[in-house]
Amino acid sequence: MTITTIGLDADDTLWHNETIFRLTHDRFVELLAEHGDREHIETRLSATEQRNLRLYGYGVKGFTLSMIETAMELTGGEAPAAVVREILAAGREMLSHPVETLPGVDEALAALSENHRLVLITKGDLMDQERKLAASGLGDLFAAVEIVSEKHAHTYDRVFNRHGTGAAEAVMVGNSMRSDVLPALQAGAWAVHIPYAVTWAHELADAPEDDPRFAALESIGDLPGWIQARIGQA
Amino acid sequence: MTITTIGLDADDTLWHNETIFRLTHDRFVELLAEHGDREHIETRLSATEQRNLRLYGYGVKGFTLSMIETAMELTGGEAPAAVVREILAAGREMLSHPVETLPGVDEALAALSENHRLVLITKGDLMDQERKLAASGLGDLFAAVEIVSEKHAHTYDRVFNRHGTGAAEAVMVGNSMRSDVLPALQAGAWAVHIPYAVTWAHELADAPEDDPRFAALESIGDLPGWIQARIGQA
């Protein structure tokens, strides 16, 4: 087996992200507490996000707009200006939040980049993802960065052809079964799932069964060893 | 002279865009008419947009958030919910607006794509730009699409190396002197300016003086002839 290229998801694979979304969710629930309990508010927000994905895509700006829209829905169209201002401020804070890499990421990427081409493959807002990569200090380790609107099998096919030697000689690594693992396997790549503490409902999916090209690892620190063990195998 | 690759800006080069922003500006001015005259409101909105570029980047979602923020500023933090709802709706309408290609675009691109590699190079929201390209029906004519957060000289250098034979054998075509023409020339590419009826203030800049690699054309319909005339020249 040859692996020339390693695709890495960014949010919640290299650095914390969902945690920051959760904190903003908590703040949103508090802001609108008189209009429903947590479950009701979360359900409405999630429905708005889902409905707006087609227009807004992924990322903080669309999430901020969806929070404002949900606040309007929950208040019968009469959200107080103070609530809207708080939501705008929460969005701005998310966009300027310090980037904290996950344990083991720096060492694992430094080791992997010695013998492999690393490619960052992520959804989200263009400028926000570029900012986070720069702030993470990991930028120089990547041969290429692809910020994409969706992660389908053809996305991985295209990216691994453009930046590597095709999907068959690539591994995709990420925390989302739905976006990182399943479509990469479908494209013919290997895939490694490294779960994060919290997963956005939209990204949940079942693990593939009995797929020899799939592995679940507890930490990215285990990735160099896993790849090393596979190289040279049939 | 050899030209292998043609970079094309999207908004206001291939299809109408600023016109739709202007219509939304007009609607915004009307919504807030009791809080200032047109000039005052436009100035404040423009200042908010400029301040937020670093966080929001380019595109409709950031513009919508900046309109809400400006409405708050103009009303002493007390924008009525109806105004916020109108702004949200205006943003959604912009994101689902039909795409209307500019006169001559379809024919010019069809002709150019026969002998050149066409690369779309644009700022804006990822999903919105992909939607517009799909809706324009021009997608198949492009060898590559690059949605970028900023258009600097190093952006053109990178894109023309990745998708062509380097900047020296590429032409960049667009309506913005500041984003399309000047940085492309700086990267060593040729550059063609095709003005649009309205230009966003942020994109204004003086034309380069006496640069043999620069041309201004009235319409994209003149582009195939201009390139043809240059091929074979020293």
| pLDDT band (50, 70, 90) for residue A197 | confident
The mean-pLDDT minimum among A18-22, A176-180, B158-162 falls in A18-22
What are the sequence ranges of the domains in chain A? 5-15+100-230, 18-95
* Assigned CATH topology for domain A5-15+100-230: Rossmann fold (3.40.50)
Q: How far is Cα B151 from Cα B176, in angstroms, rounded to an integer? A: 11
Report d(CA B62, CA B49) in Å as an integer: 8
Neighbours of B142 (CB within 10 A): 18
Lookup: tokens for A196? 């994060």
Return the pLDDT at A118: 97
Whole-angstrom Cα distance, residue A169 to residue B128?
Answer: 32
Tokens of B12: 């206001």
Alpha-carbon span B9 to A79, nearest angstrom = 39
Q: Do B78 and A78 touch (CB under 8 A)?
A: no
Rounded to whole angstroms, the Cα distance separating B12 from B199 reads 9
Chain B residue nearest residue A75, CA to CA: B81
C-alpha torsion angle, residues A7, A11, A13, A19 (rounded to 10): -170
Domain B5-16+100-230, what fold?
Answer: Rossmann fold (3.40.50)
pLDDT band, residue B233 (cuts 50/70/90): low
Instruction: Report the candidate in A20, A7, A204 with the shortest Cα–Cα distance to residue A128.
Output: A20
From CA B42, how far away is CA B36, in angstroms rounded? 10
**Rounded Cα distance, B158 and B172, in Å:** 13
Min Cα separation B119/chain A (Å): 15
The amino acid at B212: P
Query: Residue A76: its pLDDT value, please?
Result: 97
Q: Kindly state whether B82 is in contact with chain A, defined as any CB-CB distance less than 8 angstroms.
A: yes
Give SS3 for B98: coil
Q: Are B158 and B146 in contact (CB under 8 A)?
A: no
Q: Residues of B with CB below 8 A from A82's CB?
A: 77
Q: Note whether B233 and B210 are within 8 A (CB).
A: no
- Sign of the CA dihedral with B35 first, then B24, A128, and A64 last: positive
ipTM of the complex: 0.90
What is the average per-residue pLDDT within A8-29?
Answer: 95
Nearest CA in chain B to A76: B81
| Percent of chain A whose pLDDT exceeds 70 | 99
Radius of gyration in angstroms for the set of CA atoms belonging to chain B, rounded to a whole number: 19
Cα–Cα distance between A225 and B164 in angstroms, integer? 38
- Helix (H/G/I), strand (E/B), else coil: B194: coil
Question: Which bin fits B57, alpha (ψ -120 to 50), beta or left (φ > 0)?
Answer: left
Q: Is B89 on the interface with A (CB under 8 A)?
A: no
Chain B nearest CA to A224, separation (Å): 29
pLDDT in tens, B59-91: 999 999 999 999 999 999 999 999 999 999 999
User: Is the CB of B127 inside 8 Å of chain A's CB atoms?
Assistant: yes
What integer best gives the mean pLDDT of chain B?
Answer: 94
Return the H-helix or E-strand segment holding A43. Answer: helix A38-56
Q: Could you read off the pLDDT of B193-208 as tens digits, one per residue?
A: 999 987 777 777 888 8
E strands in A63-198: 117-122, 144-147, 170-174, 190-193
pLDDT tens profile B124-165: 999 999 999 999 999 999 999 999 999 999 999 999 999 999
Interface of B with A in 138-177 (CB under 8 A): 147-149
Closest C-alpha to B5, from B128, B166, B139: B166
Q: Is A127's Cβ below 8 Å from some Cβ in B?
A: yes
A72 touching B, CB under 8 A?
yes
DSSP conformation letters of B183-219: HHHHTT-EEEE---SS--GGG--PPPSS-TTEEE-S-
Label residue A234 by pLDDT band (50, 70, 90). very low
Can you tell me the distance from the alpha carbon of A76 to that of B85, in angstroms, rounded to the nearest whole number? 11
What's residue A103's pLDDT?
Answer: 94
The class (CATH top level) of A18-95 is mainly alpha
d(CA B91, CA B86) in angstroms, rounded, equals: 9
Percent of chain B with pLDDT over 90: 88
Pairing of strands A190-193, A170-174: parallel
For chain A, give the mean pLDDT: 94
Nearest CA in chain B to A149: B127
Q: Classify A124 as helix, strand or coil.
A: coil
Mean pLDDT of all residues in A104-125: 96
Residues of chain B contacting residue A75, judged by C-beta atoms under 8 Å apart: 81
